[in-house]
Structures are given as structure tokens and as C-alpha cells.
């Protein structure tokens, strides 16, 4: 069964399709030619060795035709390859292969490949067509939707990047069959985040999947519901307007991420995967909301329980609490000198709180509690 989600972007005119189609990878040519039209185009697939060794050959075979040559560039596997130097070699590859304004970049892989390839497509020749084929759960429901692309720098994660919408996104959940359990856990953490922000309907749908993930029709419906939620938020605030702080501003998608980014930073991006850090970050935001007296104890217990059921999250026991606090205060999402916390009034009711209203003591106390749990 094919499902389609439309997303409206910054200029208000360009819309693109996110197609959810089990087995769709093997019908990619139709999707690509619907987007690019029929006349000859060159396609540059950007992937990593691991993903390409599983799905690359099928995709190349499907896309290659006499009119449409395909070239392939493989980056290394891992967060550290979302870097300036890999961006440079990727753009060099596009230039060496004479990729032109009418050609297209396709990202085949998880969020690392998608973020890097999207950014390369946005800067090469001031922007060429870009299509995402995400192959992790996290990339399907989150990173491939909404047009944030970028790389990391020594000064911070995702510090350099662009809002650059793809021309289309093709999601084939059958590719998740080879994804390691730990990566499924990561995707479910982001999915629970969306559920909490959206309301009971998406939250319960997501909750019912935990511990029983099967890549069937129902799963495709879950993906569509997840993507629709993210698409709705992104369409309403495509460039994350810094002056907005309402319940539907794009900033709310940062729920759980302030603490998550601090954890990733102090562990040098090696100990925790991004989604696992988000799992801990959700618990942190929930505890902080409880301390502020804005979230019911029953919801706190429900959410703590759901995060723990998703899967084992690496223990935080050995982390230095002071380092985590200092890292939090250097978060890149500081606006007017203060950190913006996304907290919770209830399921479906996010609230944005400036750090200046909370104070250091409450945050330090919460760090202590969450790390000791
Ligand atoms: N752009 C955005 O809006 C946005 C949103 C959320 C996260 N992100 C970024 O996404 C990145 C994390 O993405 P991720 O969780 O997909 O990690 P990832 O891209 O590192 O992929 C995780 C692992 O799974 C492997 N893999 C991918 N697909 C596979 C498959 N089908 N079968 C077997 N193995 C497979 C990869 O090789 C890798 O080892 C981070 O850099 C994060 O900053 C971006
Ligand atoms: Zn995230």
C-alpha cells in the first residue's frame, strides 16, 4: 500500500511528496522520474559503505538506464563523517563527475548520510535537486522530513547547515529489517517525542508499537502519522522563527534535545547514540516540568515508564554532573542570551520556558536526579 504525505515549504509554493511504500526501493525509478521528469539526468547517489552494501546494488540497477547514468559516492559510517572535510570531498566528487544544475543527488542511508548529502546538494552550484531515501527509523520519521541539513564542527553539532527541502522522500520500511535493535530504539525515542508533543492519539499509537515492531501495513500507517505530525509543525514554521514560542512553533521539536545534546557532547558523541540521548532527554524534561509544578505526577510516571520500555538506554551513572550542566548552558539554541527549554504541561501540551525563568539550581538538581536514577 502506498501512502503519501505532502509538505508545504518556506516559500509557500513548493510542495514535495513523502511516499511511504513497502518495497518502494525497487520501484524508485518511477518515483524519481515523476519528480525530475523524463529527460536525461545524471544521478549521484550518496550513501555509506554499510547501507550501500545491503541496498545499493538494487537501487543502482533500478535507476540506471541508458538515458540516466548513476554515479556513487560512499562516505564513512558514523557521526564523525558529518564533517567539513567529508563535505569537501563530496562536493569535489560532484564536480569531478560533472553533475550539473539539472542533475540530482539521492541520499541513501540514515540521518548522517541525509544531513550531509542534503547540505552538499544545497551548496553545490548554489543548490541542485535532492531526494532522500532514508533507511533508519529515525531518518524516516524525523531527519528526512523538514529540510534541515548540515554538518558538525568543533564548536558544536549541526552548527553549519542550511534549510534545504528535498524534491521528494521515498520511504521503504522493508529496509528496516536489517537495522540493528539499538537503532530501532533510537527511532522509537524520537517517535515517542513526537507522540508526546502531538497528543494522546499519536502517543498511544506509538506506545502500542513498543516491544512489538513489525514492518507491516499498520507500521506504514504509524510512519505516516508520525511524518504528518512533523510535516504539520514544519509547514507552519519552516525556518524555526526565533521570535516564536507558541505550542506549534518548530522549536517544540527540540523537546528532550537540550539535555540530549549536552549528554552527547560530554561523552564526545561516542558513548550514546543520538536517539538514546533523546530518550534520557525526555525523562529530564518531564522531571523538570514536574519540579516546576506544571505536570501531573500520573503523566510523569506514564512517560518515565514508556521511555524505559522502549529499550535499554546506556547508563548515565559515570557522567560528571557539573560538566553536563556547563555543556547545557553552551547549547546552540540560546536566544537573546538565554537557553530555551521545551517543557510539558501535559501530553500534547508543550511549553517553551526561558532558562532565566527556571534558574540554575532547579536544573542542577534535576541533572543530579536523572543521572542517579
Ligand atoms: N535533519 C534533521 O532534521 C535531523 C533530525 C534528527 C536527527 N538528525 C541527525 O541524524 C543523525 C542520526 O541519524 P541516524 O540515527 O539515522 O544515524 P546514522 O545515519 O548514523 O545510522 C545509524 C546506523 O545504522 C546504519 N544503517 C542505516 N540504515 C541501515 C539499514 N537499513 N540496515 C542496517 N544498517 C543501517 C548506519 O550505517 C549507521 O551505522 C544525527 O547526525 C542527527 O543529528 C537530523
Ligand atoms: Zn533528534
Other C-beta atoms lying within 10 Å of the C-beta of residue 304: 16
**Nearest atom within ligand 1 for CA of residue 149:** 1
- Closest listed residue to residue 45, CA positions, set 83, 75, 73, 76: 73
Give 274 Cα–ligand 2 centroid separation in angstroms.
6
pLDDT on residue 329: 80
- From 116, 138, 175, give the residue whose CB has the most ligand 1 atoms within 8 Å, as the site to mutate: 138
Q: Are 214 and 313 in contact (CB under 8 A)?
A: no
- DSSP codes of every residue in 177-244: GGS-HHHHHHHHHHHHHHHHHH-HHHHHHHHTTTT----SHHHHHHHHHHHHHHHHHHHHSTT--TT-
**Nearest atom within ligand 1 for CA of residue 175:** 31
- From 7, 110, 257, 274, give the residue whose CB has the most ligand 1 atoms within 8 Å, as the site to mutate: 110
pLDDT on residue 356: 86
Residue of minimum CA distance from atom 9 in ligand 1:
111
Rg (CA), the chain: 20
Residues 64-85: b if buried by 16+ CB within 10 A, e if exposed? eeeebebbbbbbeeebebbbee
Q: What grid cell was written down for 363?
A: 536544573
Q: With H, G, I as helix, E, B as strand and everything else as coil, classify residue 15.
A: strand
Give 310 Cα–ligand 2 centroid separation in angstroms.
16
Q: What is the mean pLDDT of each run of 10 residues along the chain (373 residues)?
A: 73 78 93 82 96 97 83 96 97 98 96 98 97 98 95 88 95 97 98 98 97 93 96 90 90 96 92 96 98 96 97 95 90 69 97 90 95 84
pLDDT on residue 6: 74
Q: How far apart are alpha carbons 132 and 108 in whole angstroms?
A: 7
Residues 203-239: b if buried by 16+ CB within 10 A, e if exposed? bebbbebbeebebeeebbebbbbbbbbbbebbbebbe
- From 109, 132, 237, give the residue whose CB has the most ligand 1 atoms within 8 Å, as the site to mutate: 109
Give 136 Cα–ligand 1 centroid separation in angstroms.
6
pLDDT on residue 338: 75
Give 293 Cα–ligand 2 centroid separation in angstroms.
26
| Contacts of residue 35, Cβ cutoff 8 Å, sequence gap at least 6 | 17, 129, 131, 167, 168
Q: How far apart are alpha carbons 16 and 9 in whole angstroms?
A: 8
Q: With H, G, I as helix, E, B as strand and everything else as coil, classify residue 67.
A: coil
Query: Which residue spans within the chain are E strands per DSSP?
Result: 2-8, 15-21, 43-48, 70-75, 104-109, 129-134, 148-153, 156-163, 168-171, 334-335, 338-346, 349-354
Burial of 192 (0-12, 13-18, 19+ CB in 10 A): buried
Grid cell 499509537 is found at 205
The pTM of this model reads 0.95
Q: What grid cell was written down for 287?
A: 522531571
Other C-beta atoms lying within 10 Å of the C-beta of residue 318: 9
Amino acid at each position: 500500500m502506498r501512502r503519501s504525505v505532502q509538505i508545504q515549504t518556506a516559500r509557500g509554493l513548493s510542495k514535495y511528496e513523502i511516499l511511504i511504500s513497502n518495497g518502494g526501493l525497487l520501484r524508485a525509478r518511477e518515483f524519481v522520474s515523476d519528480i525530475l521528469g523524463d529527460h536525461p539526468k545524471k544521478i549521484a547517489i550518496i550513501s555509506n559503505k554499510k547501507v550501500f552494501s545491503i541496498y545499493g546494488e538494487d537501487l543502482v540497477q533500478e535507476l540506471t538506464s541508458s538515458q540516466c547514468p548513476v554515479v556513487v559516492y560512499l562516505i564513512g559510517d558514523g557521526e564523525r563523517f558529518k564533517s567539513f572535510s567529508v563535505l569537501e570531498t563530496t562536493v569535489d566528487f560532484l564536480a569531478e563527475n560533472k553533475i550539473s544544475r539539472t542533475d540530482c543527488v539521492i541520499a541513501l542511508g540514515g540521518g548522517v548520510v541525509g544531513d550531509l548529502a542534503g547540505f552538499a546538494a544545497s551548496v553545490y552550484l548554489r543548490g541542485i535537486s535532492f531526494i532522500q531515501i532514508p533507511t533508519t527509523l529515525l531518518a524516516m520519521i524525523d531527519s528526512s522530513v523538514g529540510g534541515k541539513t548540515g554538518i558538525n564542527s568543533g564548536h558544536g553539532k549541526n552548527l553549519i547547515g542550511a534549510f534545504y527541502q528535498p524534491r521528494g522522500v521515498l520511504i521503504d520500511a522493508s529496509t528496516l529489517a536489517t537495522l540493528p535493535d539499538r537503532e530501532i530504539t533510537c527511532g522509537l525515542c524520537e517517535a515517542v517525542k513526537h507522540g508526546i508533543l502531538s497528543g494522546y492519539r499519536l502517543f498511544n499509537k506509538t506506545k502500542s508499537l513498543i516491544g512489538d515492531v513489525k514492518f507491516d501495513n499498520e507500521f506504514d500507517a504509524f510512519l505516516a502519522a508520525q511524518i504528518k505530525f512533523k510535516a504539520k509543525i514544519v509547514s507552519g514554521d519552516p525556518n524555526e522563527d526565533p521570535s516564536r514560542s507558541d505550542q506549534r512553533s518548530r522549536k517544540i521539536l527540540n523537546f528532550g534535545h537540550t539535555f540530549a545534546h549536552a549528554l552527547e557532547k560530554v561523552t564526545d558523541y561516542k558513548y550514546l547514540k543520538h536517539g538514546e540521548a533523546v530518550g534520557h532527554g525526555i525523562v529530564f524534561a518531564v522531571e523538570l516540568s514536574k519540579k516546576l509544578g506544571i505536570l501531573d505526577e500520573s503523566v510523569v510516571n506514564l512517560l518515565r515508564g514508556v521511555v524505559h520500555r522502549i529499550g535499554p538506554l546506556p547508563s548515565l551513572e559515570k557522567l560528571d554532573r557539573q560538566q553536563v550542566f556547563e555543556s547545557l548552558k553552551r547549547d546552540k539554541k540560546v536566544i537573546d542570551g538565554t537557553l530555551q527549554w521545551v517543557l510539558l504541561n501535559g501530553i500534547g501540551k508543550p511549553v517553551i520556558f526561558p532558562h532565566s525563568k527556571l534558574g540554575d539550581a532547579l536544573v542542577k538538581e534535576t541533572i543530579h536526579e536523572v543521572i542517579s536514577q
